[in-house]
C-alpha cells in the first residue's frame, strides 16, 4: 500500500498540464494526444466484495493493481505499457487514433502483445489482443457514447462493450459500461457466466482524471473484462487516477 501511496502522490503533484481528453473507467477510447504528451495511470480494484468491506478495511483488503504509461511519439500513434499484478500480466501495445475535426465519430485501432501466467504452476503465455474503439463527440455537451470490439487470441474469444459518459456538471461525470463475450470455445474456464457491468464517477480536471467505480468483477483491462464476470450478485469497488503531462 505504501508503494501505491507514493505513486499516487507523484501523479497528483508533478507536471505542467493542458487540456485533457474524454477517457472512460475501463474502455479504450480514441486519443487526442499530440507528440510530447503522455499519461501515467494507477488503478486499485479491491478483491473483497462490497458487503465484506468496512470503513477501516477499505485499504487493508487485497487488490488487483494496474500501472500504465502511454505517450504520443508520432501524430496519431501512441505506444503504451501496462502491468497488472494479478497473474503478473505485462502488456505492450500500440494505439492508432483517427480524430477528424467536425466528424461525429472518432475511431481508434489498438493492437497489444500480452504475457501472463494463467494459473499456479503453469508456464507464462504470450499472445495478442486486438481492439477497435469508437466514440461520438459530446451530444448536447452532455452525453458521449463509446463502443469497444475486441478479440483475445489466447482465449479465441470475441467481445464488445458499450459505454456512456454523462457530464452532470463540470467537472463531474457519471460513467456506465456493459460488456460481454460474443463467441468463445465451449468449456473455457476463463470465460465468466455473465457480462461485466461498471458504474463509475469521474472528477476531471485539465490534467487529472479521478474515477471511482462499482462493478461486478475486480478485474481491470479490457481484454480481461470482455471475458465476462462471475455473476451480477457480487459487487466490487475500485479507483483509477490518470495524470497527463504536456512536454510540448
Nearest by Cα to 205 from 173, 165, 177, 238: 173
207 — pLDDT class (breaks 50, 70, 90):
confident
Residue 38 φ then ψ, to 5°: -150, 165
CB-CB contact of 20 with 244 (8 Å): yes
Nearest by Cα to 130 from 99, 96, 86: 96
> Between the CA of residue 227 and those of 9, 175, 222, what are the distances in Å?
33, 20, 9
How far is Cα 25 from Cα 174, in angstroms, rounded to an integer?
Answer: 10
- Grouping H, G, I as helix, E, B as strand and the rest as coil, residue 215 is strand
Task: Say what the pTM is.
Answer: 0.88
Q: Nine-digit cell at 156?
A: 479465441
The rounded mean pLDDT for the chain is 88
The model's pLDDT over 69-120, given as tens digits with 9 standing for 90+, comes to 999 999 999 999 999 998 899 999 999 999 887 789 999 999 999 999 877 7
**Residue predicted with more confidence, 143 or 184:** 143
Share of the chain above pLDDT 90, in %: 66
How far is Cα 203 from Cα 172, in angstroms, rounded to an integer?
Answer: 5
What is the maximum span of the chain, computed from C-alpha positions, in angstroms?
A: 53
Give the 3-state DSSP-derived string for 56-69, with helices as H, strands as E and coil as C.
Answer: HHCCCCCEEEEEEE
DSSP of 223-247: HHHTT-BS-SS--EEEEEEEEEEE-
Say yes or no to pLDDT of 3 above 80: no
Class of domain 2-66+100-110+130-246: mainly beta
Amino acid at each position: 500500500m505504501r508503494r501505491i501511496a507514493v505513486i499516487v502522490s507523484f501523479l497528483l503533484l508533478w507536471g505542467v498540464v493542458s487540456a485533457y481528453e474524454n477517457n472512460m473507467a475501463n474502455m479504450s477510447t480514441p486519443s487526442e494526444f499530440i507528440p510530447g504528451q503522455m499519461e501515467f495511470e494507477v488503478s486499485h480494484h479491491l478483491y473483497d466484495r462490497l458487503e465484506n468491506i468496512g470503513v477501516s478495511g477499505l485499504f487493508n483488503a487485497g487488490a488487483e493493481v494496474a500501472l500504465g504509461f502511454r505517450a504520443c511519439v508520432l501524430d496519431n500513434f501512441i505506444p503504451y505499457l501496462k502491468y497488472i499484478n494479478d497473474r503478473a500480466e505485462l502488456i505492450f501495445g500500440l494505439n492508432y487514433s483517427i480524430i477528424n475535426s467536425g466528424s461525429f465519430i472518432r475511431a481508434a485501432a489498438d493492437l497489444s502483445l500480452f504475457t501472463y501466467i494463467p494459473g499456479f504452476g503453469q508456464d507464462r503465455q504470450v499472445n495478442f489482443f486486438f481492439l477497435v474503439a469508437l466514440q461520438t463527440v459530446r451530444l448536447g455537451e452532455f452525453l458521449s457514447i463509446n463502443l469497444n470490439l475486441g478479440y483475445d487470441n489466447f482465449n479465441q474469444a470475441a467481445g464488445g462493450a458499450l459505454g456512456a459518459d454523462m457530464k452532470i456538471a463540470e467537472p463531474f461525470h457519471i460513467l456506465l459500461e456493459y460488456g460481454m463475450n460474443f463467441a468463445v470455445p465451449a468449456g473455457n474456464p476463463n470465460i465468466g457466466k455473465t457480462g461485466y457491468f461498471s458504474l463509475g464517477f469521474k472528477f476531471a480536471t485539465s490534467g487529472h482524471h479521478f474515477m471511482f467505480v462499482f462493478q461486478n468483477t475486480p478485474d481491470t483491462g479490457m481484454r480481461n473484462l470482455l471475458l465476462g464476470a462471475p455473476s451480477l450478485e457480487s459487487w466490487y469497488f475500485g479507483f483509477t487516477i490518470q495524470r497527463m503531462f504536456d512536454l510540448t
